[in-house]
Structure 1
Amino acid sequence: MLKECPISCGICSATECTDRKFQCESWARSNACNDNPEFMTKYCPKSCEVCRSTCVDMHTDCPGWTANGECFKNPTYLYKHCPKSCGVCPEPSEEKIKTAPCSDFNTTQCHIWADSGQCAENPLAVMKQCPESCGVCKPTCTDHHEGCRAWAFAKKCYDEPAFMLRVCPASCGICTALESKDEL
């Protein structure tokens, strides 16, 4: 499964999780994400929150590196590339969200520390408090609820696209479409 289904298993995510049209932000503000979900989730994944800043490992070797103590030996690299395995971000909440949100605990202080180079100089202390400011957070395209696979199997992607394409983009095939180099 990990080799054949890396997106569904959370190993990788869309490499270009960005809006493809400059109008996306204004379209999203005018409710286009709900009114035209098929188009908007493919062309405006960032504005429609298909891609969210999350705490995900960027390498399949992260669990092994963590087991060998690399998070403490080389925190500058490991915290950025293996934040989930190294415990940089909090565990997902009780809301059954699949991936942990990635955000600073104190935005003002984190900006000060990041601007003064503390992310690199003191990563063990600063990166866990300031994952967003220190560049740990990655916009990724993944399902945002544990029920997504079952709902997709029940054909909810077609029956309820305004909800499903935004909350369950991986299970509904949106993430795979975003990774495609071809024009959608």
Structure 2
Amino acid sequence: MLFIFSFLLVPFTNAVISGDLNCTTYNGTAFVYTPAAVACDNAISDASCQILYAAPDTLYPAAGNDAERALACYTTATATPAAVVQDMKTAALASCAKTCGLCCQTDDYSCANVAYPRLNCATITTSQCNSVAWRTIIATDCPSACGFCNQGGCVDAVTNCANDLSICNTVGMQDFVNTYCQKTCARCPSTTAASSVTTTASSGSCSSYAADSSSSCAAWAKNGFCTNTFYTTAQRRSRCATTCKLC
């Protein structure tokens, strides 16, 4: 009887992350999800995602926890061991990246950060992503933390600039927009240079270029990806060799 009573006192433990450790970090005890793992929105409703990708232990991925992903987020129920099945993962990324804790691998969140950032990219929170004090720094140093990978290093410091586009030409507001609304008002340092990137031939001797590995290259080029020195030539070539005309 004492044995049974003692057993009842033992707390039940939740499943821990296994199989796919992307978008996680080791905290000294276990692998837990980074803030970027759940920073995006699902492409379909959260309720639908929770039906399609039901959590094994009713606890879904969240920043700092170690809830197990649904197998369907990255593999099949019959896979032994639970190896990543790319078709399953691609489907999850396209529809329910947040529910699966895979936001950091979507196009907006999957890019290189600078080697020596001014803050810890792995611990950036949603409030910092929306902070006037931090947004422009994050866009430059840690674009993957806030979904700024497609922005070419240029974002508005104030999140509601686009609510009133007339502010871009309002007399007396130019100092403000030059500082806080660079993206919306096309005041980024690389904006003018970027517009000619896709039509300017490379100075190299290439007769053809490697295919772009990202479908977002055209948008990135408009935002300065091909000319912004924040990105190395190797990074540009690996993602957008054709768009950026790199040998």
Whether TM exceeds 0.5 here: the answer is: no
Higher relative CO (CA 8 A, sep ≥ 6), structure 1 or 2?
1
**Larger helix fraction of residues:** 1
> What TM-score, normalized to structure 2?
0.25
